[in-house]
Amino acid sequence: MTPAARISAAIDVLADIEARRRPATDALKDWGLSHRFAGSGDRAAIAGLVYDALRRKASAAHLLGEATPRATVLGMLRLDRGLDLAAVEKLCDGSRFAPDPLDARERAALAGTDLVDAPAHVAGDYPEWLDLPLARVFGDDRVEEGRALAQRAPLDLRVNTLAADRDKLAGALSHLRPAPTRWSPAGLRVVVGAEQKSPPVHAEPAFIKGQVEIQDEGSQVAALIAAARPGEQVIDLCAGGGGKTLALAATMENKGQLYATDLDKRRLAPIHARLERAGVRNVQVRTPGRETDVLEDVSGRADLVLVDAPCTGTGTWRRNPDAKWRIRPGSLSERLAQQATVLDRAAGLVRPGGRVVYVTCSLLADENTDQIQAFLARHPGFSPVPPEEAVTAALGDAAPAFLESVLTFPEGLLMTPRRTGTDGFFVSVLRREE
């Protein structure tokens, strides 16, 4: 396919997303099935165009003066890909499979990139209703934080220290050009360009052997701050597919006992194969039942309970750009209730002197500092560990620079793409009094 044909395809996919109100992954899959002539490179390039257009949806529409799929793609080409008017006109020449030629209004709009007078939510490319919540956290920096969330995310890998050494594994993966992550001592980062296919990590021998997992560096750091130690009794209360479970098992060096569970047993389905592949031997997966509490036998005995809480996912917009346009106030209310419930459950599982570590991939104070304040009001026997203490113990020499980068609060700390180069994560360490 020609570059122009790929742009036409991206416009069609965006129109399908809008008309049928469906996730981008579903629309792209259907497009691929109905256009089997398109090669893997074409499909990857079209997906890149679609996701980049969704990342810049608000600012692109502002630039073009309308929010049509065509305007979104054209605006993205100017704002995100940096194409000038002549380059966009060359792609939109009306030839076979190419988009229609630009009209006078489109040419005038694409001649400039002026977003100076755009409202904050437009310049930062996020939903208007989230402007006040984001302003509460970031103030005038919310536009720059939003712009960082509208960039492509790198591919981060976590080296399984139970099975491999980071430096040696970097050599084995040298064809991917990995670089050591800044904060996580077990992380490797692969930067994927706009026109590149994401590398098939799942087909790498190192992945098949369990030596490496795909995990954002922020998630790796959150697991390190949890500080699960060898020999401890640890509960991963919202384990899902097991990403943080695997990270915790590695820091525990396969010693002690780690219980992994989730209220939604369907989310636990992938964890068994992942544990086996990684060579993890100290994990019990507790699948929830209808009538019995699967953690009753360890209630009040855990040294650490990790709550990787269900949340709005506002910190992951780089990877899920269509999700930010689907989020509604009602979904936030639902998540807040779920978070309070799971935090209360964690409080009953941890022993005196133990700790609860609360993690979200959200940027919103409602889900982060507010949630912790409410928890502390309900459970006065807990107190927050100062972020400086938790980070220094977890990151060692990297701690000072990390603490300068993150936002810190009495209740915890917040990572963001702009500040730490990671997804957005809030982490709070809560210690139960002896």
Q: Where are the domains of the chain?
A: 3-118, 217-432
Specify the pLDDT at position 98. Answer: 93
pLDDT of residue 291: 65
Q: Is the Cα torsion angle 315, 374, 142, 124 positive or negative in sign?
A: positive
Q: Which amino acid is at 111?
A: A
- CATH architecture of the domain covering 217-432: 3-Layer(aba) Sandwich (3.40)
The verdict on whether 92 is a catalytic residue reads no
d(CA 144, CA 154) in angstroms, rounded, equals 18
| Cβ contact 423:417 at 8 Å | yes
Name the residue among 162, 143, 432 with its Cα closest to residue 300: 432
Beta strands in 257-363 (DSSP E): 257-261, 283-286, 302-308, 350-360
Query: How far apart, in whole angstroms, are the C-alpha atoms of residue 39 and residue 43?
Result: 6
Give 261: exposed, middle or buried? Use CB within 10 Å, 0-12, 13-18, 19+.
Answer: buried
Q: Which two tokens stand for residue 195?
A: 């026109």
At 103, phi and psi to the nearest 5? Answer: -90, 180
Query: Known binder of ligand: residue 308?
Result: yes
Q: How far apart are CA 319 and CA 55, in angstroms?
A: 9
pLDDT at 113: 67
What span, in angstroms and rounded, lies between the C-alpha atoms of 425 and 410?
16
Measured between alpha carbons, how far is 160 from 212 in angstroms, rounded to an integer? 5
> Is the distance from CB of 304 to CB of 227 less than 8 angstroms?
yes
pLDDT tens digit at each of 434 positions of the chain:
999 999 999 999 999 999 998 999 999 999 999 998 888 889 999 999 999 999 999 999 999 999 999 999 999 999 999 999 999 999 999 999 999 999 999 999 998 767 878 999 999 999 999 999 999 999 999 999 999 999 999 999 999 999 999 999 999 999 999 999 999 999 999 998 877 778 999 999 999 999 999 999 999 999 999 999 999 999 999 999 999 999 999 999 999 999 999 988 899 999 999 999 999 999 999 998 776 789 999 999 999 999 999 999 999 999 999 999 999 889 999 999 999 999 999 999 999 999 999 999 999 999 999 999 999 999 999 999 999 999 999 999 999 999 999 999 999 999 999 999 999 999 999 999 98
Residues 6+ apart with CB under 8 A from 150: 55, 56, 59, 80, 124, 125, 317, 318, 321
Distance (Å) of CA 161 to CA 261, 346, 423: 23, 28, 22
pLDDT at 386: 96
